[in-house]
Structure 1
Amino acid sequence: MPAAPAQAFARCPDRLGLYPVLPTAEWVERVVGFGVKTVQLRRKSAEPADELKREIARCVAAGREHDAQVFINDHWQAALEAGAYGVHLGQEDLHTADLSALAMAGIRLGLSTHGFYEILKALHFRPSYIALGAVFPTTTKVMPTAPQGLKRLARYVHLLDGVVPLVAIGGIDLQVLPDVLATGVGCAAVVRAVTEAADPAAAVSALQHAFAQ
Structure 2
Amino acid sequence: MTRIDYRLNALVDAGLSDIGPLAELAQAAARNGATLIQYRDKTASTARMIGQAKAIAAALDGTGVPFVVNDRVDVALAAGADGVHLGADDMDAQTARRLLGPEAIIGLTVKNTADAERAGRAPVDYACIGGVFETLSKVNPDPPVGIDGFARLRQALRALNPALPVGAIAGIDLSRIPAVIAAGADGVATISAIFRNRDVAQATAAFRTAVDAALAGRAAA
Pairwise TM-score range, normalised by the shorter structure = 0.7 to 0.9
Q: Verify the 8 A CA contact 1:16 1:38 in the aligned structure 2.
A: yes
Report SS of the residue matched to 1:34.
Answer: coil
Amino acid at match of 2:6: L
Q: Distance in 1 between matches of 2:177 and 2:10?
A: 13
Question: Could you tell me which residue of structure 1 aligns to residue 17 of structure 2?
Answer: none
Q: Distance in 2 between matches of 1:190 and 1:110?
A: 15
Q: Distance in 1 between matches of 2:106 and 2:170?
A: 19
For 1:1-213, list aligned pairs within 5 A.
10-13=1-4, 15-23=5-13, 24-47=22-45, 49=47, 51-94=48-91, 98-104=95-101, 106-161=103-158, 162-213=162-213
Q: Verify the 8 A CA contact 2:117 2:157 in the aligned structure 1.
A: no
How high is the TM-score relative to the length of structure 1? Answer: 0.85
Q: Distance in 2 between matches of 1:114 and 1:200?
A: 28
Q: Verify the 8 A CA contact 2:97 2:106 in the aligned structure 1.
A: no
Deviation at 1:61, TM superposition (A): 2.4
Q: Verify the 8 A CA contact 1:11 1:129 in the aligned structure 2.
A: no
Report SS of the residue matched to 2:84.
Answer: strand
Report SS of the residue matched to 2:108.
Answer: strand
Question: Could you tell me which residue of structure 1 aligns to residue 216 of structure 2?
Answer: none
Q: Distance in 1 between matches of 2:103 and 2:78?
A: 12
Change (3 A) 1:105 1:45: farther
Gaps of 5+ in 2: 14-21, 214-221
Q: Verify the 8 A CA contact 1:72 1:84 in the aligned structure 2.
A: yes
Amino acid at match of 1:11: T
Q: Distance in 2 between matches of 1:148 and 1:93?
A: 21
Deviation at 1:125, TM superposition (A): 2.6
Change (3 A) 1:31 1:178: same
Q: Verify the 8 A CA contact 2:173 2:193 in the aligned structure 1.
A: yes
Instruction: Name whichever structure is richer in helix by fraction.
Output: 2
Taking only the aligned residue pairs, the percentage that are identical comes to: 29
Q: Distance in 2 between matches of 1:146 and 1:32?
A: 31
Gaps of 5+ in 1: 1-9
Deviation at 1:202, TM superposition (A): 1.5
Report SS of the residue matched to 2:117.
Answer: helix
1:175-203 C-alpha deviation (Å, 9 max, x unpaired): 21121111131110011101211221221
1:67-124 C-alpha deviation (Å, 9 max, x unpaired): 0011111221021122211201111013599424434263211111211111112334
Q: Distance in 1 between matches of 2:38 and 2:152?
A: 26
Q: Verify the 8 A CA contact 1:80 1:107 in the aligned structure 2.
A: no
Q: Distance in 1 between matches of 2:206 and 2:97?
A: 39
Amino acid at match of 2:43: S
How high is the TM-score relative to the length of structure 2? Answer: 0.82
